[in-house]
Amino acid sequence: AMRIAQMSGWVSQSLMALWSNIGEVEDGMRTLTPAHAITDAEGAQVLGRVQGEVRFDQVSFAYGREKGGIDGVDLTIKPGERIGIVGASGAGKSTLVALLLRLYDTEKGRVMIDGTDLRDVTQESLRRNIGMVTQETAMFNRSARENILYGRPDATEEEMIAAAKAAEAHDFILGLVDHTGKTGYEAALGERGVKLSGGQRQRIALARAFLKNAPILVLDEATSALDSEVEAAIQKALGRVMEGKTVLAIAHRLSTIAEMDRIVVLDQGRIVEEGSHAELLAQNGLYARYWNRQSGGFLGTEEEEAEEPLPGIEAA
């Protein structure tokens, strides 16, 4: 169970690191190079600001010859619709999101935004349309201000602070002191700066996303427990950031998922259930089982993985 948790942690961590570093300025410590460099097609068009319709059209993808990936996923998400993605560790949640970010190309089928195949647009313009929030978001060895401005470098000081406030990050940022004595928005983050908790990182990520204001938002909630005060602050901030956006949320807390317009349940790379929280409970299938087992707790914790080993992966 430990190994499964580590593996999936590694997958999503490298995914996030990749996403936040491709083509970006180096952070002083290291520059990540995509292992699987995807290049723009000749004559790729620039995707303007989209309405936010996301469509997976019979999409299949596998990692090499190994098992795992996505198998025949057909899913259309309306602009402004909020989708929750649930499933056991290894079900394909991160892979689905990776395909939307075009970290990989599909083997079969296509992924489209507003009806345009992702392979026909520049990666830069694709990235501008998608915001990303996760607890694993990389912090750069720069000030808190610069870390938030990363969402939109030309934003004004007022806009930057408004974003931090909307993300419930302003108050804790004011309390930061780094090892050189710099405080607040001047305090250095990253590996050589102030160590942030998972909940704080998530709020910096939310502030960036708020500032970026992209029409499509991807959320990947971490499994780690947050104290209830932080949890409430993050829920509030999430609500603000999701406003008017097309949202794909991978959440481990089913309480977050229950609020979504539609929930998609993945199992071994396939969509096995789809519907609202109430519909899925009535269906009494996999989602209902997760819900009953979790009773407001977490999905994909080590204990639960131990209860239900995954096919295709040896338990350590």
Binding residues for ligand ADP (CB under 6 A): 8, 11, 63, 66, 68-69, 87, 89-95
Residue 93 vs 201, nearer CB to Mg ion: 93
Q: Where do contacts with Mg ion occur on this chain (CB under 5 A)? A: 12, 93-94
Distance CA 254, CA 16 (A): 22
Distance CA 176, CA 164 (A): 14
90 contact, one of Mg ion, ligand ADP, none, CB 5-8 Å limit per kind:
ligand ADP
Residue with tokens 């602070």: 161
Residue 69 vs 215, nearer CB to ligand ADP: 69
190 contact, one of ligand ADP, Mg ion, none, CB 5-8 Å limit per kind:
none
123 backbone dihedrals φ, ψ, rounded to 5°: -65, -35
Residue 90 vs 199, nearer CB to ligand ADP: 90
Residue 11 vs 113, nearer CB to ligand ADP: 11
Residue 69 vs 190, nearer CB to ligand ADP: 69
Reference 16, options 187, 197, 265, 250; nearest CA is 250
Closest separation in Å from C-beta 11 to ligand ADP: 4
| Token pair recorded at residue 83 | 């989708």
Distance CA 295, CA 273 (A): 19
92 contact, one of ligand ADP, Mg ion, none, CB 5-8 Å limit per kind:
ligand ADP
Strands (E), 140-277: 216-220, 246-250, 262-267, 270-275
Closest separation in Å from C-beta 98 to ligand ADP: 7
95 contact, one of Mg ion, ligand ADP, none, CB 5-8 Å limit per kind:
ligand ADP
Between CA 211 and CA 218, with CA 212 as vertex, the angle to 5 degrees is 115
Q: Name 64's Cβ contacts closer than 8 Å, sequence gap at least 6.
A: none
Closest separation in Å from C-beta 309 to ligand ADP: 12
- Collapsing DSSP to helix, strand or coil, 253 comes out as coil
Distance CA 82, CA 244 (A): 9
199 contact, one of Mg ion, ligand ADP, none, CB 5-8 Å limit per kind:
none
Closest separation in Å from C-beta 95 to ligand ADP: 3
End-to-end CA distance of the chain: 6
Closest separation in Å from C-beta 10 to ligand ADP: 9
303 contact, one of ligand ADP, Mg ion, none, CB 5-8 Å limit per kind:
none
Reference 57, options 26, 100, 10; nearest CA is 100
Residue 41 vs 306, nearer CB to Mg ion: 306
